Structure 1
Amino acid sequence: MKNNKNYIGTTSLLISIVGLIVVQILISIGFLVNSYWHILLAGFEAATIGGFADWFAVRALFYEIPIPIIRKHTNIIVRNRQKLTEGVVDLVTNKWLSPEIINEKLSNVPIIEGVVKTLKTPENAKKLIGFLKEIINRLTSNIDDPEVAKMLQSLLKEQIKGVDLATPLGEWLKKSIEKGDHNKLWDIILDAAEKSINDETTRELLLTSIENQVQDYKQEGFFKKIFIGIAKGVGAIDSPSILDKLISSIDDFIKEAKGNPNHAIRVKFDKSILDFANNLIEGNEESTKIIKDLQDKLIDNTDANSMIQVILNNFKISIKAQLEKDDTPFINFLSENVNKLLNELETDKASQLKIDTWLKSTIEELVTKYHHEIGEMVRLSLTKLNDFELVNQIEEKVGNDLQYIRLNGAVVGGFIGIIISIIRMIFL
């Protein structure tokens, strides 16, 4: 199509020239004797002149024509490059892409509706999750920094100091004891105690302790030393035997308490905890002070920062492990909530309107603030082109259509030439 248009102007000019030559020759040799042929000859003459004139006009736009005097009026695009650039910049920034035009078009665009529809497609949903994974990965990359731990410790300190833990703790303890939820804790403690008391290491520690007590007793006086010596001599004091009986008694006691929620020691301990819980609920000064002191010691403890550091480090490792694969609990949770949010937003027109209003307002501010950058981009793009590239690009876009000017020049010139010839024939 491009080549066909290129031939339009040239073809029209050639037809005019050939027509002029042929008709002129035929008239000159007497082959065409009727005066009406002079009208046709005048038409071809005018068409040739018009075709040449418009060829020159179109050619002069893009290239320099080495004809004296008029040469300086050719190569118009290159000679007026600066004016052309500023004209294009002005046209783009103040007419085609003015802030008013952009904002007017923007006001009719349902941004969020389009965004939601786009993000709900499987391909884009996958890209969105990938983008969120990257953001989360970057956010957590430095979460185990010591400064973060210090900041969290400081925040926790301020928050915990102003929080009443005594009352809710008292209510929780009371409910747990009344409902028997703490019995599981009893079972764990008693199981651990039973295993510990029957452990060989525990036995050795207790035996050493008994022996130390016997030695200390002997050092308290001469008669006590003689008594211990006689008792050991007759077998009245046998440390291993005493220890076995002691361990057996404790073991029986633990088993008895473990199997009976109403055991005396459990009931007594539960009552003490319940009384403490009621005191916390009622705001007993002595009881609440215990919790308050624990709060302060917990957050001011030198190990608190280390504990927070360990928690943050474990959290970072866990999150990174979850982000490495696409089918992990965290990624599934993220995908489900993103889909839920998109579904809710798709049907919530009020929220769409609010977000659209905010986005459009923000975009309008940015357009107003940085609108001059549009002109700068156009100017920079044109400046980067050398003369040949500039002419070539313009000619590629409009040069072919300018060939119709040459066609019109030949046609209109020929038509006017015929009319003038007819008028001359009639009136002269």
Structure 2
Amino acid sequence: LEVAVAGGHHQAALDAVLAGSAGLLEHNQAELRARLDSQSPWWVPDAVDDRIFAKVHAGVTNFLAEVGEDPDHHVRRQFDERVRALVEDLRRSPELSAKAEELKAQVLDHPSVQAWAATLWSDARHALVEATADETSELHRHLEAAVVRLGETLAADADLRRKVDAWVEQTVVDLLHQYRAEVADLVAGTVSRWDATDASRRIELQVGRDLQYIRINGTVVGGLAGLALHAIGELAF
């Protein structure tokens, strides 16, 4: 909360509340008018109720708009003061801080909040994937520019390249060491599903050129060895 206040994010949260409240008033205008009609005395004419409702609705809507548009509005100042006072109280009072943590845990553990968070993450991930795949999107252009800058920096800085290479190498070693059992199981499970023909084909594809080189060398060396033995035999006898 302290970090959010320091960055002014609490005012952004207030903006969201104001916008949401204005939207609720606008979208539920008919229901609010019906509520007023049900609470109004029977002898009050509908025209009077209409005027009262219109004035109240317009007044509240205009008030929300004023607070939202004026960064120096007195409501914003009061909100800022109270939030900062709350931050200070949380810092000084262990009891209040503990209650706040307990409340936060209860909110985060609530099934509705967890379902909302999962939906939010799913939507955000989907939007991120779509934006990344779209070559015309702003995100795609920024990512592309960042990758290009990184490549240019690595190409121009030999010391940085060595550090990156060392970091990548160490990371791979650490991951292999940490997950060596899982990697071994994965490799063993994959290979065990190959039949003899499939295994030989895969090995041939991966190391075919090396195997061919070994075959040629073996043939040449074997031929030379046989020729040498034959020559020795002829000379000896």
TM-score of the aligned structures, taking structure 1 as reference length = 0.32
Instruction: Tell me the equivalent position of 2:38.
Output: 212
Paired AA for residue 343 in structure 1 = R
Higher helix share: 2
Which deviations, in whole Å up to 9, do the C-alpha atoms of 1:356-409 show, x marking residues without a partner? xxx9xxxxxxxxxxxxxxxxxxxxxxxxxxxxxxxx999745221123224423
Q: Which runs of 5+ in 1 are unaligned?
A: 1-168, 219-227, 360-391, 411-428
Instruction: Tell me the equivalent position of 1:400.
Output: 227
Give the Cα–Cα distance (whole angstroms) in 2 for the partners of residues 173 and 265 of structure 1: 19
Q: Is residue 2:97 matched to residue 1:270?
A: no
User: 1:174–1:278: 8 Å Cα contact kept in structure 2?
Assistant: no
Alpha-carbon distance change, 347 to 211 in structure 1, aligned in 2, over 3 angstroms: closer
Q: Is residue 2:76 matched to residue 1:240?
A: no
Instruction: Tell me the equivalent position of 2:210.
Output: none
Q: Is residue 2:190 matched to residue 1:190?
A: no
| TM-fit CA distance, 1:244 | 0.6
Give the Cα–Cα distance (whole angstroms) in 2 for the partners of residues 252 and 316 of structure 1: 37
Which deviations, in whole Å up to 9, do the C-alpha atoms of 1:48-96 show, x marking residues without a partner? xxxxxxxxxxxxxxxxxxxxxxxxxxxxxxxxxxxxxxxxxxxxxxxxx
RMSD over aligned Cα atoms: 4.8
Instruction: Tell me the equivalent position of 1:302.
Output: 111
Q: Which runs of 5+ in 2 are unaligned?
A: 178-218
Q: How is 1:168-187 mapped onto 2 (pairs within 5 angstroms)?
A: 169=1, 171-176=2-7, 182-187=10-15
| TM-fit CA distance, 1:245 | 0.9
Of 290, 309, 312, the match for 2:100: 290
Q: How many pairs were matched up?
A: 176
Q: Secondary structure at the match of 1:238?
A: helix
Of 70, 77, 86, the match for 1:260: 70
Alpha-carbon distance change, 283 to 338 in structure 1, aligned in 2, over 3 angstroms: farther
Give the Cα–Cα distance (whole angstroms) in 1 for the partners of residues 123 and 18 of structure 2: 34
Give the Cα–Cα distance (whole angstroms) in 1 for the partners of residues 89 and 14 of structure 2: 22
Give the Cα–Cα distance (whole angstroms) in 2 for the partners of residues 263 and 321 of structure 1: 37
Larger mean CA deviation between 309-318 and 181-190 belongs to: 309-318
Give the Cα–Cα distance (whole angstroms) in 2 for the partners of residues 181 and 309 of structure 1: 23
Q: % of aligned pairs identical?
A: 16
Paired AA for residue 175 in structure 1 = A
Give the Cα–Cα distance (whole angstroms) in 2 for the partners of residues 173 and 295 of structure 1: 18
Paired AA for residue 172 in structure 1 = V
Paired AA for residue 203 in structure 1 = Q
Of 329, 343, 347, the match for 2:162: 343
Paired AA for residue 29 in structure 2 = R
| TM-fit CA distance, 1:251 | 2.7
Paired AA for residue 295 in structure 1 = A
Greater Rg, structure 1 or structure 2? 1
Give the Cα–Cα distance (whole angstroms) in 2 for the partners of residues 240 and 286 of structure 1: 46
Q: How is 1:11-410 mapped onto 2 (pairs within 5 angstroms)?
A: 169=1, 171-176=2-7, 182-197=10-25, 199=26, 201-214=27-40, 228-229=42-43, 231-232=44-45, 238-286=48-96, 288-298=98-108, 300-303=109-112, 306=115, 310=119, 311=121, 315=125, 329=143, 332=147, 343-344=162-163, 396-409=223-236
Alpha-carbon distance change, 403 to 282 in structure 1, aligned in 2, over 3 angstroms: same
| TM-fit CA distance, 1:186 | 3.9
Alpha-carbon distance change, 321 to 397 in structure 1, aligned in 2, over 3 angstroms: farther
Give the Cα–Cα distance (whole angstroms) in 2 for the partners of residues 263 and 289 of structure 1: 31
Between 1 and 2, higher relative CO (CA 8 Å, sep ≥ 6) is seen in: 1
Q: Secondary structure at the match of 1:206?
A: helix
User: 2:18–2:68: 8 Å Cα contact kept in structure 1?
Assistant: yes
Give the Cα–Cα distance (whole angstroms) in 2 for the partners of residues 332 and 315 of structure 1: 20
